Amino acid sequence: MADSFPRLSADPLPAGGRIACRIEYNGSGYNGWQIQPHPGSRTVQQELESALGSVADCSLRVHCAGRTDTGVHGHCQIIHFDAPAARSPKAWVVGTNASLPEDVRVHWAVPVPDTFHARFSALSRRYRYLIANTPVRPPLFCKQLTWHRFPLDAELMHAEAQCLPGEQDFSAFRAASCQSSTPMRNVYAVEVFRQGELVVVDIQANAFLHHMVRNIVGSLIAVGAGRQPAGWTAAVLRGRDRTLAADTAPPHGLYLADVAYPGDYRLPPTPYGPLFLRARRH
């Protein structure tokens, strides 16, 4: 139990040093992660930079592992910033949380070398997509889960998803607005499993195209619900045509679940989540 409640150091870290943090947020009330150029758009980055700035007594800029879209949640968003003032890990965590809205939290803050970059140092990203497979929409998590009222065959969806691992052209699951210079991505693993009335899609890759996870989930749902035959996802993938795939799944079932970095950086491990999912051993 003690390991789950680590003590935060009150010893100041030097000004100018690089700090990495794990951020968790409910994205349902935000226009995505990234600060928007037009006023009135509430973003996670904006709230976080404002709160960190109140601790530092000056403005600062953060860099994230992956920009999430409107309505998408972060269980393990990793950020870094160069500290403009000497503050302790306890001040960066407790002080920042005191100024944040209740749907955004900092879990830890650790010093890292200047070579660390939240985005470019990442080895992989992991997303989990949660589907409430119930006859009636669950009201308690209405903006934290996607609802599907008809039965889904999770075992079939898992088998269907095994065409995805490997370095491949994912044009069929790429949003038209995607700005990546290449549609090639390397998917390391995909698992679909049922946990009570939840169906969970767990996917890990070196990086993701815009809407790639939600487009994949939409097609897996089409097969799991019996609207498309087994093997259809592989055919769509080979076709490299977005118009052949199913509709994009809604954003509120999607969580940035983990980001992996080289062990030399010694970042704290991420607990399995989000919180209402029980731990699974792999």
Q: Which amino acid belongs to residue 175?
A: A
Q: Which residues contact 161 (CB under 8 A, 6 or more apart)?
A: 190, 191, 192, 201, 203, 216, 220, 233
Pairing of strands 104-112, 198-205: unpaired
Local structure of residue 267 (DSSP, 8 states) = P
Q: Which residue has tokens 């097609």?
A: 219
69 an active-site residue?
A: yes
Q: CA 145 to CA 138: how far, in whole Å?
A: 9
DSSP strand pairing (254-260 vs 73-82): parallel
Could you say which of 3, 11, 57, 69 is catalytic? 69
The single-letter DSSP state of residue 161 is: H
What are the two backbone dihedrals, phi and then psi, of residue 96, each rounded to the nearest 5 degrees? -65, -45
Run of H or E including 213: helix 212-224
- The rounded distance, in Å, linking the Cα atoms of 110 and 116 is 12
Answer for the pair 125, 64: CB distance below 8 angstroms, yes or no: no
For residues 261 and 273, give the distance between their C-alpha atoms in angstroms, rounded to a whole number. Answer: 18
Report the b/e string of 181-207 with b at 16+ CB within 10 A.
Answer: eebebebbebbbebeeebbbbbbbbee
Coil/strand/helix, residue 79: strand
Positions marked catalytic: 69
